[in-house]
Structure 1
Amino acid sequence: MQRLPEPELMVDPAQVLAYAAADFSGGDQRTLDRIEALLSSASGRAASDPAVILDLGCGPGNISLPLAKRFPESQVIGVDGSRAMLQVARDRANQQGLSIDLRCSTLQDLALEPVDLIVSNSLLHHLHEPGLLWGLTRELAAPGCRVLHRDLRRPAALAEVHRLQQLHCFDAPAVLIQDFCASLVAAFTPEEVQQQLALAELDGLTVEMEDDRYLVVSGLVD
């Protein structure tokens, strides 16, 4: 099935409200567990708490906020191009008493000092130019930076898209069902992501499939 890109930013108020209200706790926890495992293993190297954590495409803070709670001594930076999404994240951080640096920026315009951990959850499929993510990952990685990007992967046929929708979000609000299907069609295959990593010379990152619809890119950048 050919990839069909979707809009890069979530700015529609109804869309933002639907995502803020939705329960993504299962997938979020899997992302957090994988981050924890990556930090613990670090490919055999001695791992320490990251001084600076960068969450790209942070949305309403589903990953940024738990990381800020887990690593209170770390600087957590959440970046998103949607001001509406960031406002939700900011409100949640204030309610939870968490200190987090939230910035509205596109990947093209983002300027930061090197960081120790780079993560994203369901960002890659939004990008019209996926090389931006990998170039930024290389550019912002401090020596030994740990990286974890988790995203949907594109099925081989439209029939599989409909099967996954019926299986995983049959009773979700219409806007979430529409976005879920569009995101699957906009996602990349593991083979495409491997090619992207090769072009970016990110040899320390690997791609693996997770369950029936996700892929995970993780590893170290030296």
Structure 2
Amino acid sequence: MERIVEPELMDDPLQARAYAEADFDRSDQAFTERFLALLGQPFGDGIVDLGCGPGNISFRLAAALPNARVLGVDGAASMVALAAEHQQRHPGAWPQLRFQQLKLPLADPAALGGPFAAVVSNSLLHHLHDPQVLWQAVGQLAAPGATIYIKDLRRPASAAAADALTERHVAGAPAVLRRDFRASLAAAFTAAEVEAQLAQAAQLWGAAGTPGTNWPAFTVAEVEDRYLEIHGRWLG
């Protein structure tokens, strides 16, 4: 199945709220547990969550690592507003967590307060028309030794397979979520495409001549029936 891009931002207020109110507990918890398993110890200061949406992952990370500052970043004002709204309903629950609206590519990475000991992203990659903006942001924000963990959908082989996944996983969801899930499957990348992206990112990073840094070897793996995960440790 050929890739069909979708809008980069989920900035429609109704769409954003439907996403925020959906039940992603199982997948969000799986993401968090997998990241914590990859993290290891000791852990430096700071996690940045790229494409944080309404903050599902950011809140879980802040709860799991109360001594680490966590920054959730999203380009959609509606999503960041929902994250801030949830945080305001629970004053003092996550004092080390903040959210910022910012769209990739990063014009000024230092403005985010990095570098960070971990860079994570859940379901951002498939939204990007140019995936290199994510991989370059990873390099710009990661501290030496940082844990990198990216998870996203993967594109199925055919439209029929995409329809079957939609029926299997979101048949009972509101229409807007069923539509978005099906569109996201079509916009997602295959493992081979991500491998090629990372090879290109390494070339671009090397060509930029960034002193003292080397692009790491990332592991790209298919997970369950619809996900990809990409992880590695920034060499610095």
Q: Normalized against structure 1, the TM-score is what? A: 0.94
> Post-superposition shift, 1:32?
0.4
Check if 1:109 corresponds to 2:106. yes
**Can you list the C-alpha shifts for 1:15-60, whole angstroms capped at 9, x where unaligned?**
01111110000110110011011012xxxxxx22330100000011
Distance in 1 of aligned mates of 2:139 and 2:17? 33
Map of 2:123 onto structure 1: 122
CA distance in 1, matches of 2:72, 2:4: 27
Q: CA RMSD in A?
A: 1.1
Question: Which residue in 2 is equivalent to 1:44?
Answer: none
In structure 1, runs of 5+ residues without a counterpart are 41-46
Give the C-alpha shift of residue 98 in structure 1: 1.4
Q: Secondary structure at the match of 1:63?
A: helix
The equivalent of 1:43 in structure 2 is none
Alignment of 1:90 onto 2:84: yes
Residue matched to 1:204: 217
SS across alignment from 1:192: helix
Q: For residues 83 and 139 of structure 1, what CA distance do their matches in structure 2 show?
A: 23
Task: Please tell me the residue identity of whatever aligns with 2:44.
Answer: P
Structure 2 residue aligned with 1:65, among 55, 59, 75? 59
Taking the aligned partners of 1:145 and 1:76, their CA distance within structure 2 comes to 14
Note the residue ranges of structure 2 that are not aligned, 5 or more in a row: 203-214
**Percent of counterpart pairs with the same letter?**
46
TM-score (norm 2): 0.89
Question: Once the 2 structures are TM-superposed, how far is the Cα of residue 95 of structure 1 from its aligned partner?
Answer: 2.5
- Contact preservation (8 Å) 1:49, 1:71: no
Hey, which bits of structure 1, 4+ residues long, moved more than 4 A? none
CA contact (8 A) 1:205 1:221 kept: no
Residue correspondences, number: 216
- Alpha-carbon distance change, 62 to 35 in structure 1, aligned in 2, over 3 angstroms: same
